[in-house]
Structure formats: C-alpha cells, structure tokens
Amino acid sequence: MPQYCVNENAQANGDHEVHNVTANKTCLPALSNRRNLGEQTDCWAALDAAKRHFDDVDGCAYCTPACHTS
C-alpha cells in the first residue's frame, strides 16, 4: 500500500495538500512540513486521514490527481 503525507503548510486558498510519498514525485513538501498519514489504500482514504488534522484538504494535482479538486 502507498504511503501518504499531508503538507502542514496550507496553500494560498487554505487547502492542505495530500501527497503520495510512494510515488516519489518532485511535488512532495519538505520533510519538516510533512505530517505522515501512513499507509492508505488510496488517495480517498488518505484525504479522510488528513481531515482528522485539517478542515480543508485536497489531493496534489501531480501525485494524487484522482483526488485533486481545486
């Protein structure tokens, strides 16, 4: 199962982006800004996990495009 993280720093629109760490793309936030979400079955489960920490979350357009909405 893939590993996910959420960026602790919000984007300008207030969203905290969820990233697929296993995909190893260049879009990952700095290690110091990552909150580990652990292994998740898919990006939708990762978004649910991130919502336990932040109200506004969205998938990254590059490494979790199926869950990217804005």
What is the per-residue pLDDT across 11-31, written as a single tens digit (0 to 9) for each?
999 999 999 999 988 999 999
CA atoms within 13 A on the CB side of 52: 8
Q: Which two tokens stand for residue 36?
A: 């580990």
Q: Provide the 10 A C-beta neighbour count for residue 50.
A: 26
Q: In degrees rounded to 5, what are phi and psi of residue 23?
A: -65, -25
- Length of the chain as a residue count: 70
What is the per-residue pLDDT across 28-52, written as a single tens digit (0 to 9) for each?
999 999 999 999 999 999 999 999 9
8 A C-beta contact, residue 4 and residue 37: yes
* Single pTM value for the model: 0.94
